[in-house]
Each structure stands twice: as structure tokens, then as C-alpha cells.
Amino acid sequence: MFARFLGTGRRRVIGGALGRTLTLFSAAFALWVVYANIFALPDALLVGILFVCGIYALLFLHVGATREAGPRPTVIDWSLAILAVACGVYFYVTREALASHITLLYPLSTAQLFFGAALLALTLEATRRTTGPGLTVVVTVFLAYNLWGHLIPAPLGHGYIDFGSFIDTLIYTTDGVFGVPIQVAASYVFLFVLFGSLLSRAGGAEFMFQLAAALTGRSPGGPAKIAILSSGMYGMISGSPTSDVATTGSVTIPIMKRLGYSARFAGAVEVAASTGGAAMPPVMGSAAFILAEYTGIDYRTVVFAALIPALLYYLGIYIQVHLRARRLGLRGVDQVDPVLETLKAGWIFVVPLIVITIALLVGYTPTYVAVFGSVSLLATSMMQKRTRMSPRELLEGIGETTMRMLPVAGACAAAGLVIGGLTMTGLSMKASGLVSLVAGSGDIALLLLAALITIILGLGMPTPSAYILAAVLVGPAIASAGLAVLPANMFLLYFALLSALTPPIAVAAFAAAAIADEDAMRIAVTSVKLAATGFALPFVFVWNPALLAMGTWPEIGLAAVGGVVAVSLLANALEREMSWLRRGLYLVLAAAAVSPIVLLSATVTAVAVLYGAYVFRQGRRGWAKPESGAA
């Protein structure tokens, strides 16, 4: 019986009067968050507290304690929701004392200890219900280390921390629950999720699928290419590989199977494409906002840096899909609308993305960029009857934002607990020192170890939590090796993303397995192959930062073209039938094409481009002939 409480809880869809009341509360809460961000309420700690308490109240009513939970909230659910509201009311009533409180200087009162401990317990339960045991166990271990780590001998032990100081640091400062992750969740992430909710409500997901079909549907293996583009576009806004697979995969995977792709390959294409969405500018996922806030790097700089690697990631998947389609003789889709007609019918969805891009280029903060995008979407959606939202649909769309934030807020609050605990005990520096010691003096060994640790931390975890844990535990070790801040953190972000498709957990693969009716591990292994570019890219842009738009324009241009050549060679080496000697040569040339040695990179790139042009003019003689067999 106890095992039932180790997994995630069941997400409820509450109807009736209670459901309508909660929808109104969710919408009102979302509007308050928008107001708090636009008018920049001064007390960041109080805003974070009210945000978390409001989210928790809704979370415990909408997410049951177990997967077998009933359709209506239980007494325990109501009790936890009421406790969350009580915490919020207490903190609001005592906000003046909270503002003047000096951490660790004055002891906490009994009431402060009680409500602080209650909020800590609520955070653990909210994390368990929304993300499962992985992150919950990690957080619990770190909290236990804070309280009893003084019993551990040096060098891992630390000084004694009493319970009052423990609660004071984790709850009543911006170093714990209400640290950078929850601040980002309550601002940038929430506002972009609002944009995504309104876009979906107006029909944006359907438009993205239609646009992807118009662009690639008629080419060989069209449905798989549709999955790549539509999942990338939708994932850019959703930022969640698992939800992206569930949303777009329910359409694309069955179509790919009907065309002739195996269930394994169809599911893997969707998983690989969905995983990369959170790294695709201009929106990117919540982890990118945390990266910008945590490192102090302007979000616009992060967006520009992410563009070339994201395009190369999807190019790698696209080429592998195309090669397999040609090899198996798979055709495209016959009936698709022309691109111009699709854009003409769906221009109302293009305009908000253009507005977001321009606002980023001009230099507006992510807060205003998201607001401008939402306002422009509301304005353009009113111009067509099929996309015009009624007051009820608009209210539901706004309320849906709060619902989508439930797992994000829980994960970010839990990550804040880990950060606060690591700061309190100094474990982050000890862990980084241990990583550096194990890796030795070699940068390659250090990066390999950092990648492995990040993937392990991310198994079964949301991307934001995986990234922030890696940044705190491994980041200082990478920094001590002399690597630049942006490449180092983009390195960690990519592997935090890729943990969603990496066996043995591979949460995105399990979501695809249910749709494809295939073994999740087979899908995961194939998706790793399709996403091979993503596993190689972080090492490349640490080696050659020009791929992150760091350098002169000629350097960036050469890196981009060299990246295209390298990805093409890698995809051919993975997908085409050839000798191992030739395969090894392709991989060596791929590495040379993105080398920071300008002469080497330029020479290999030029030769590859000329050879590619020759093959193209000769009628693509390099393609393998169609053959039978499952994909």
C-alpha cells in the first residue's frame, strides 16, 4: 500500500460548480501574476510566497495523492490546500515583520517556525505528486544532509545547523524555496506559458502542424518530417518534452506508422524532435530563463547563442529521417496545402511570433516580450471567426496557464530547496572539488563526467530541476577549468534536456510508447541515435564557441557552415550502410569541420561543400537504393 504513494498523483478534471469556481480562481490568479510582473511589485519574497501558496492550493485539489485517486478531492487534499492558503494568509498578514527580518540574526517565532515547516512539507508533497519520487528523493536527501550532515566526518561533513536556522534560510530568504528558480517561474516562465495557452486555445497547435505539413509533407518520409517541424515549433512554446510528445505525437506517430515506418522509429522521431523544442529560440523553455537569471547573462544573448545549435540539432534528425525514407522508398503525403495558402490562413499565429522576435531584438525584458506576444495574439485572433475566443474560452485559456504551471512550480520550488541547502552547507564547492579531482587535469574528462552527472541528475526529473542541480553541483568545477560561463551552462542545459530521452528512465520515450504501442526502451535507444547531434553539440560549442555566436561574423559564419557539414557527415555515418573504415572517416571529417582551427575547418568545409554540390548535380548518386524491411 505504501508503494502507491511513491509515484506521481492522478491529474483530476473537476467538473460542476467546484470546477467552475476553481477555473475562476485559476484565471484570477493568473491575472494577478501578470499584474505583479507588469507593475514590478517591489517585494520579490512576498510575491514568491503568494505565488507558491496559490499554486499549491490548486495543486492539491487537482492532483491526487496516488494514481488511483478519485475524481473529487479527498479530505486530505482539502486539508493540504487549506494549509497552503493559511500559509499564504499568515505570510501576507505578517509581511512587514517579514520585510524587516534579518536572517539568522533574530530567532524565529513559534508561528514562523510552524508555517515555515508546513510550507517545506507542502513543497515536498507537491513535488512528489507532480514529478514523482526522483526529484523528491533527491531533495529529501539534501535536506537530511543539512540537518544531520554534522554527524558525517570530514571532508563531507559540515557544522551543526539547528532547525530554526534551517527553516530561516530555506523559507524566509530568497536562497531557498523562493530563490532563482521560483522567481523565474513566477515571472518569465508563467508569462510565456500564458502565451502558449492562449496560442493553443486559438488553434496555434493545429496551424503549426499544417505549416509543417505544407513545408515537408510531400517530400520522402513526409509525416516524419512533419513530426520534426511541428514538435520543434510546439515544444519551443511548451518547453516540456513529455507533454509535447503527448500532444503532437498522438497525431504524428500513427501517421508515420501508416506510411511504413516501424513503431519504434516513429516513436523515436517524435521523442527526439520534442526533446529539442525547449532549446529552440526565440521562446525556448523554462530552463533557459533560469540559465539567464542564474548566470546573469542577458536572455537575448542566450537566445542568439542557442539558435545555431538548435537548428543543427533538428538538421541532424531531419537528415537521418530523409535518408531512411529514401532507403525504404517511403513516399510523402499527397494532399497538403501549399505553403503560401497555409501562411495566409494562419497569419494570425505568425504575427505574435514576429512580435516576440522583434521585441527581443529591440532589447525588451522577457517579461514584456511575453506580454507583447500575448496581447498581439489576442488582437490578431479577434480578426477571424474560427480563432476568435469567446469570454468563456478566454477565461479558460487564462486559467489553463495556472494549471500548466502546477508541475513547473513544484519542481522549481524543490530545486530552490536544494540550492539553499547546498549554499548553507558548502556542499556545492565540495562536490565540484570532487568532480575536478576525479576528472583530473583533462578538460575532456571533466566535460564527460559533467555530462554523465547531468544526465543522471535529470533522469525522471523536469529539465529546470536537472539543469539547476547540475549548475550548482558541477558548474563550479567547469568554471574552475577556465571555460566561459555561457558555453559551460549551455553544455549543462543540453544534457539536462537530453536526459528526457536517455535510458533507462527516458520519460519522453514512455509517453511515446503508449501511443506507438512499442517497448519504451527500444524507442529510447533509437531516439538517442536520432539525437546524436544533440549529444555531440555541447562538446563542440565548448571547443568552438563561435557556434554560440561568440566571435566575429566570419568566425560565426564558418562555424555555422562547418556545423552543417559536420551534422550531415554524422547523420550519414549513423544512417547509411557503409564500411566501418568509411564510417570512421566520416566522423573524423565531421570533427574537423567544426574545429576551432580555422584553416582545418575551412578546408574540410570547402571540400565537403564542393563534393556535395557535385553529388547533387550528378543526380544524387550517393543515395542507397530502396530496399525492403522494417524501418
DSSP one-letter code for 185: I
Q: Is the pLDDT of residue 213 over 80?
A: yes
pLDDT of 1 higher than 50:
no
Residue with cell 527526439: 272
Strands (E), 121-160: none
In a domain, 358, yes or no: no
By percentage, how much of the chain surpasses pLDDT 90?
49
> What is the DSSP secondary structure assignment for residue 187, as one 8-state letter?
I
Which has the minimum average pLDDT: 240-249, 327-336, 517-526, 533-542? 327-336
Residue 628 belongs to some domain of the structure: no
Q: What is the CA radius of gyration of the chain?
A: 25
Mean pLDDT of 143-150: 92
Its pTM stands at: 0.88
**Within-domain flag for 607:** yes
Interval 250-264: pLDDT, tens: 888 998 898 888 999
The pLDDT of 212-229, averaged and rounded, is: 87
Q: How far apart are CA 29 and CA 34, in angstroms?
A: 9
Q: What share of the chain is helix, strand, coil (3-state, %, to 5)?
A: 75, 0, 25
Last residue of a domain, one of 164, 183, 202: 183
Residue at which a domain ends, from 183, 204, 233: 183
Question: Residue 440 pLDDT > 80, yes or no?
Answer: no
CB atoms < 10 A from the CB of 270, how many? Answer: 35
Residue with cell 460542476: 16
Q: Note whether residue 573 is domain-resident.
A: yes
Q: How many domains in the chain?
A: 2
User: Does 21 reside within a domain?
Assistant: yes
Checking if the pLDDT of 332 tops 70, the result is: yes
Number of H helices, E strands in the chain: 30, 0
Is 605 inside any structural domain?
yes
Mean pLDDT of the chain: 88
165 within a domain of the structure (yes/no): yes
Distance CA 147, CA 416 (A): 17
Residue numbers of the domain that contains 574: 551-618
Chain-centroid distance, C-alpha 196: 14
Looking up cell 564547492 gives 429
Q: Which residue has the higher pLDDT, 432 or 607?
A: 607
CA distance 376 to 370: 10
Cα-based distances in Å from 269 to 252, 273, 275, 524: 9, 6, 10, 10
- Phi first, then psi: give them for residue 476, nearest 5 degrees: -60, -35
pLDDT value of residue 7 = 67
State the pLDDT at residue 627: 45
Q: How confident is the model at residue 629 (pLDDT cuts 50, 70, 90)?
A: very low
The answer to whether the bond into 464 is cis (omega within 30° of 0) is no
pLDDT band for position 198 (50/70/90)? very high
Helix, strand, or coil (residue 11): strand
What whole-number percentage of the chain has pLDDT above 70?
Answer: 96
In a domain, residue 366? The reply is: no
Exposure pattern of 45-83 as b/e (b: 16+ CB <10 Å)? bbbbbbbbbbbbbbbbbbbbbbeebeeebeeebeebbeb
Helix (H) or strand (E) holding 607: helix 598-617
Q: How does 229-238 read in b/e, with b if 16+ C-beta sit within 10 Å? A: bbbbbbbbbb
11 Cβ contact partners less than 8 Å away, ≥ 6 residues apart: 62, 63, 64
Q: Reply yes or no on whether the pLDDT at 126 is more than 90.
A: yes
Boundary residue ending a domain (118, 150, 183): 183
What pLDDT is attached to residue 626? 46
Closest by CA position to 576, among listed 510, 516, 519, 624: 624
Bridge partners, residue 63, by sequence: 11
Q: What is the pLDDT of residues 469-516, one digit of tens each?
A: 899 888 888 888 888 999 999 999 999 999 989 988 888 999 899 999
Banded pLDDT at 445 (limits 50, 70, 90) = confident
> 98 versus 409: which is more confidently predicted?
409
Q: Which residue has the higher pLDDT, 6 or 190?
A: 190
User: Please, are residues 467 and 287 in contact by the beta-carbon 8 Å criterion?
Assistant: yes
